[in-house]
Structure 1
Amino acid sequence: MAMKAITSEELLEKVLNKEELFIFDVRNEKDFEDWKVEGSAIEYLNIPYFELIDGVGGIVDKVPADKEIIVVCAKEGSSKMVAEMLSEEGFDTSYLAGGMKSWSEQLYKTEVYHDDDMKVFQFIRAGKGCLSYMVVSGDEALIVDPARFVDEYRAAAEQDGVKITHIVDSHLHADHISGGRQLAEMTGANYYLMKSEGAIFDFKPLENYEKIEFENVTLEVIALKTPGHTPGSVSFFVNDKLLFSGDTIFVSGLGRPDLGGKVREWAKDLYDSIYNKVSQIADDVIVLPAHYADLEEEINKDGFIGEKLGDIRSKNEVMINQSENDFVEFVAQSASSETPPNFEEIIALNRGTEKATQERQQELEIGPNRCAVHHTS
């Protein structure tokens, strides 16, 4: 049988459709266990490439003859060679074009909301668990928490016939490199970030803005002190209908306030945010976070990741009727998971105190998202 390539976009579509897949991952065991293409309908086989250099004859009994086999490696080369060997043995075989590196960079655009005043699109980065957004109104667009793949947002704006005029980052991200600064330079858009995040380049400090308005959109800036990884963080309340919650509230729980080494102090700030600020927001407001933990668990029937605030509250007891002490203890215990890989260097890049080549940026982002860790209980 002829070997063929499958793109990350095609693979993501299969995952979202919950198609039965057989993925043969030829990376080493540690990398496979740490981070993989995830899906409830996926069957896995992990055998490192170096064990297959002399051929696949010894493992053909572990590979199904009646399914398409998708071979995966880090960058493509090894999976392509293994796929070729399997196809020569008569198996229906594909390899993931670009490997896990391309999987990490794949963005999936879906519509979240529309009315007479605005349209909102979500960009799902399945390989990292990161979410970004485009709000369109009239002839203008606002981008929320953009990834570094700035051409994706420019193409989306062009498709809608609008100009990107505003860009906001909810905080200084720790798990991925922001495209906010570069996108602003390319489009001439205003770029907003909290001054307390310590960025050294030119931007508009969110501390100076209670609202950002354009066309028929009013974006309220809700300052939420340190609910995520950084000294300053915000959420954005749009037209009293949508809450871009950054790393404060996830569909599955709350953000982790431990990366600064002040988990209990920052957990108290998170308590104040949840009980004294977010508590004032109505239950029917749709929460749109910056990250998610599990694509299949959290994507809703409308095809995007988000949920009404009231439903999140009802599933997350720590958001209601908790004393500050109990809340702090819960958050402190929940925040003990592994930190995002390379987060200090990524923060430095996002702050503007360091630079990195395109290749280095790809290397820094390889691996899973570890921001959305406070699952409901």
Structure 2
Amino acid sequence: MIDRSDDADRSGDGVDSIAPEELADRLRSGDELTVLDVRDRDEFERWHLEGEGLEAVQIPHMKFIQAEATGGADDLVADLEEPILAVCGHGEASAHAVSLLREAGVDARNLAGGMDAWADLYVARELDVDAPATVLQYDRPSSGCLAYLIVSGDEAVVIDPLRALADRYVATAADRGAELVYAVDTHVHADHVSGVRDLASRTDAEPVVPEGARDRGLAFDARTLGDGDELHVGEATLTAVATPGHTTESLSFRLGDVLFTGDTLFLEGVGRPDLEGGSEEAPAAARRLYESLQHRILERPDETTIAPGHYSDAADPRDDGTYAARLGDLRDRLAALSLSEDEFVDRATSDLPPRPANDERIVAANLGLEAVDEETAFELELGPNNCAVAD
């Protein structure tokens, strides 16, 4: 993992700041907040803070430098609602802007460590589920990416690990007296760089991917799984369930009454079908997704816990902050799950969000077709995952 601790320490020196953890709590609570982004316009447009209750405004830092010489820093934000949270890349330029605003009597605070620290925030929470193992959900609030660590006895497996934060899984497993034996991807991700190979190189964990990844050009050695194949971890068993649609090779994994659905089914929608084959192949992929949902997932008991691979601002967490739901509740809540096949295909292929940033390079990296260094990998995946079709 890239060490940004020095930047975070400097950014809050002498300035009223909030930590990324506090920002995550406020976003989950829906608190109203104006975000003042002092980065350049291209950086802002590429990726900025979004969420319910947030209004993001870009005013470049240069204007605050000019205001320091001429006065009137408060005039720059005269039309903005307070409180104001200022952000930049590392937290230093925004700290300067906050110091000027607070001197002028504006209720402003700085995001400690800036957007880098926000991207580096990764929270592990134990998932309250009926399963023959301990399940921890890892939440990256900056992108909505979710991963899972399953611990049974002295063995552990991680599902959909992030390369940028791979050391977290190793440390958590060690804290619980376990070692990683498998690092698993549910599909070839297009929104983040996978940590499967990184974990295999630094531990004894075996890399595991869906067998269909070979048809997409998999270029590294890994164990492959198909429908019904099993992984044994301590006393627990993970069973692969083929759920193609979001991608041709997508798998879900069953552990007791828990189903880890990757990008097939979310709390607020379903996986988008166009990332692998583009818009021309999206209708056929949407029909595969419909079949997977109707006959591989929705036929399961209502008490099944759905543990998705992502969430968006539209998803509501549980009281404990985790993102999971009963299948019966999703069946009742998501209109997409009760549509006819043709209606589903039309909805799943219409009004799609922008593709994840750098998706083609990320897919190439995850197949082992392109080598990217740690810093590049971190930069490639910044921003929202955009892997869902909202309900």
TM-score by length of 1: 0.89
| C-alpha distance 70-326 of structure 1, shift in aligned 2 (>3 A) | closer
Match of 1:303 in 2: 321
Match of 2:341 in 1: 324
CA drift at 1:338: 1.2
Structure 1 residue 286 and structure 2 residue 286: aligned? no
Distance between the aligned counterparts of 1:36 and 1:298, measured in 2? 21
CA drift at 1:214: 2.1
Equivalences for residues 1-377 of structure 1 within 5 A: 2-17=14-29, 21-29=33-41, 31-32=43-44, 35-42=47-54, 44-55=56-67, 57-61=71-75, 62=77, 69-89=84-104, 94-113=109-128, 117-148=132-163, 149-197=165-213, 198-207=217-226, 210-225=229-244, 227-228=245-246, 230-239=247-256, 241-259=257-275, 260-261=277-278, 262-294=281-313, 297-320=315-338, 322-334=339-351, 336-372=352-388, 374-376=389-391
What letter matches 1:51 in structure 2?
A: K
| C-alpha distance 97-355 of structure 1, shift in aligned 2 (>3 A) | farther
Is the CA contact (8 Å cut-off) linking 1:3 and 1:92 kept in structure 2? Answer: no
Aligned residue for 1:333, secondary structure, equals coil
Is the CA contact (8 Å cut-off) linking 1:65 and 1:91 kept in structure 2? Answer: no
CA drift at 1:159: 1.9
| C-alpha distance 293-13 of structure 1, shift in aligned 2 (>3 A) | closer
Higher mean alpha-carbon deviation, 45-54 vs 347-356, is at 45-54
| C-alpha distance 81-274 of structure 1, shift in aligned 2 (>3 A) | same
Is the CA contact (8 Å cut-off) linking 1:70 and 1:95 kept in structure 2? Answer: yes
Is the CA contact (8 Å cut-off) linking 1:2 and 1:87 kept in structure 2? Answer: no
Distance between the aligned counterparts of 1:118 and 1:342, measured in 2? 36
What letter matches 1:308 in structure 2?
A: R
Is the CA contact (8 Å cut-off) linking 2:183 and 2:200 kept in structure 1? Answer: yes
Aligned residue for 1:319, secondary structure, equals helix
Aligned residue for 1:361, secondary structure, equals helix
Aligned residue for 1:254, secondary structure, equals strand
| C-alpha distance 50-66 of structure 1, shift in aligned 2 (>3 A) | closer
Is the CA contact (8 Å cut-off) linking 1:224 and 1:273 kept in structure 2? Answer: yes
CA drift at 1:123: 0.7
| C-alpha distance 190-105 of structure 1, shift in aligned 2 (>3 A) | same
Is the CA contact (8 Å cut-off) linking 1:141 and 1:163 kept in structure 2? Answer: yes
What letter matches 2:269 in structure 1?
A: G
Is the CA contact (8 Å cut-off) linking 2:227 and 2:242 kept in structure 1? Answer: no
Is the CA contact (8 Å cut-off) linking 1:224 and 1:234 kept in structure 2? Answer: yes
Higher mean alpha-carbon deviation, 35-44 vs 300-309, is at 35-44
Distance between the aligned counterparts of 2:142 and 2:78, measured in 1? 25
| C-alpha distance 16-252 of structure 1, shift in aligned 2 (>3 A) | closer
CA drift at 1:323: 3.2
| C-alpha distance 33-137 of structure 1, shift in aligned 2 (>3 A) | same
Distance between the aligned counterparts of 2:78 and 2:170, measured in 1? 42
What letter matches 2:326 in structure 1?
A: K
Distance between the aligned counterparts of 2:368 and 2:132, measured in 1? 35
Matched-pair identity in %: 36
CA drift at 1:361: 1.6
Aligned residue for 1:250, secondary structure, equals coil
CA drift at 1:279: 2.6
| C-alpha distance 65-195 of structure 1, shift in aligned 2 (>3 A) | closer
Deviations 1:90-132 (A, max 9, x none): 6565432332122122111111125683111111111011100
What letter matches 1:53 in structure 2?
A: I
Corresponding pairs, count: 369
What letter matches 2:253 in structure 1?
A: F
CA drift at 1:301: 2.1
Higher mean alpha-carbon deviation, 355-364 vs 82-91, is at 82-91
Is the CA contact (8 Å cut-off) linking 1:22 and 1:70 kept in structure 2? Answer: yes
Aligned residue for 1:121, secondary structure, equals strand
Is the CA contact (8 Å cut-off) linking 1:101 and 1:366 kept in structure 2? Answer: no
| C-alpha distance 210-65 of structure 1, shift in aligned 2 (>3 A) | closer
| C-alpha distance 375-92 of structure 1, shift in aligned 2 (>3 A) | closer
CA drift at 1:64: 11
Deviations 1:43-84 (A, max 9, x none): 654322232221253341536999764320123342133233
Is the CA contact (8 Å cut-off) linking 1:175 and 1:341 kept in structure 2? Answer: yes
Is the CA contact (8 Å cut-off) linking 2:308 and 2:324 kept in structure 1? Answer: yes
